[in-house]
């Protein structure tokens, strides 16, 4: 079926009180693995591409791969831009067929973040594309967050309602203690902050840096209003594990298909497991 918007997928998730995985892709095997896993679980799915993925694969390849995968799939698929920081590129993605875009203005002053998000929301809404914005700064696992940093970086509930109303954005990524990449320590999520945020806005909340967050914590976050759960690192790990396993098993193998096939299988298993944890199995 044609691509569907993030807004539609997340509205259904809100109604059914479950979360939907947003899985990052960089190449054909990753796209195929995500769709195969979602189909096996009969789950809606969001496939997202970062600026780095677009640089690596090319915008046309990302759009071509995901659009074709969606057309063939029996489940709803959304193509989402992850962490767009460049206004022109976000608009380009809208024009080329993404069904959802994120503008990440988290490093900008609040009013500037609102102003650019609002402009993107207006353009996207005019052509039926949904939007995500970021408020607060989601750390990388290399960033050591001190107690003082915490208040400076985490989403401030006092800005949330103002931001949502002024920008008109469809979904909001928040900083509540997760980080991108492999965790060095188990993350400690600020559930009280999430609960407060949820009480202030009605739009779906997005959790970035979700790889490595214990399942029970992800499920608690879903019960507190998180609807979109971003996973990249766990897919990367599975890819390399599958690839390395195949290379170790047959060091003389030179057929890429014999190496990338097992990588794809390992990713399917991880994505299926995540979908089950998020509760979206059977919700397509």
Gap between the terminal Cα atoms of the chain: 12
| Alpha-carbon span 208 to 249, nearest angstrom | 35
| Alpha-carbon span 100 to 84, nearest angstrom | 11
| CB-count exposure of residue 66 (10 Å: 0-12, 13-18, 19+) | buried
Q: What is the maximum alpha-carbon separation in the chain?
A: 60
- CB 221: neighbour CB atoms within 10 A? 25
Part in contact with ligand 13P (CB under 6 A); list of ranges 64-72, 186-194, 209-217, 267-275: 209-217
Active site residue 82: yes
Q: Which does 211 bind (CB under 5 to 8 A by kind): Zn ion, ligand G3H, ligand 13P, none?
A: ligand 13P
> Residue 236, interface with Zn ion (CB under 5 A)?
no
> Residue 24, interface with ligand G3H (CB under 6 A)?
yes
Q: Which does 64 bind (CB under 5 to 8 A by kind): ligand 13P, ligand G3H, Zn ion, none?
A: none
Which member of 60, 82, 170, 215 is catalytic?
82
Part in contact with ligand 13P (CB under 6 A); list of ranges 34-42, 57-65, 155-163, 230-238: 230-238
Which listed residue (187, 209, 225, 242) binds ligand 13P by CB under 6 A?
Answer: 209
Classified as helix, coil or strand, 91 is helix
Q: Which distant-in-sequence residues (6+ apart) come within 8 Å of 253 by Cβ? A: 246, 247, 259
Which listed residue (99, 130, 155, 210) binds ligand 13P by CB under 6 A?
Answer: 210
What is the binding site for ligand G3H (CB under 6 A)?
A: 24, 50, 52-53, 82-83, 180, 232
Q: Which residues bind Zn ion (CB under 5 A)?
A: 208
């Amino acid at each position: 079926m044609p691509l569907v918007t993030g807004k539609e997928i997340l509205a259904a998730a809100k109604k059914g009180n479950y979360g939907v995985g947003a899985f990052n892709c960089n190449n054909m095997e990753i796209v195929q693995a995500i769709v195969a896993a979602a189909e096996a679980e009969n789950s809606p799915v969001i496939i997202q591409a970062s600026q780095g993925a677009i640089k690596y694969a090319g915008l046309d390849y990302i759009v071509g791969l995901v659009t074709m995968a969606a057309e063939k799939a029996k489940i709803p698929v959304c193509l989402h831009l992850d962490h767009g920081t460049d206004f022109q590129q976000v608009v380009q993605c809208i024009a080329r067929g993404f069904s959802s875009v994120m503008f990440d203005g988290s490093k900008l002053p609040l009013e500037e973040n609102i102003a650019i998000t609002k402009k993107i929301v207006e353009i996207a809404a005019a052509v039926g594309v949904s939007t995500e914005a970021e408020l607060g700064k989601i750390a990388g696992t290399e960033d050591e967050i001190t107690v003082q940093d915490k208040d400076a970086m985490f989403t401030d509930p006092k800005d949330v309602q103002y931001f949502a109303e002024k920008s008109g954005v469809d979904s909001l990524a928040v900083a509540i203690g997760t980080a991108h990449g492999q965790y060095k320590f188990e993350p400690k999520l600020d559930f009280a902050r999430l609960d407060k945020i949820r009480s202030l806005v009605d739009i779906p909340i997005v959790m970035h840096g979700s790889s490595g967050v214990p399942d029970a914590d992800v499920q608690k976050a879903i019960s507190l209003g998180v609807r979109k759960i971003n996973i990249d690192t766990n897919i990367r790990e599975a890819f390399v594990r599958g690839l390395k396993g195949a290379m170790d098993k047959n060091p003389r193998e030179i057929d890429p298909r014999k190496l990338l096939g097992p990588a794809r299988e390992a990713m399917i298993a991880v994505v299926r497991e995540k979908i089950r944890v998020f509760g979206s199995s059977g919700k397509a």
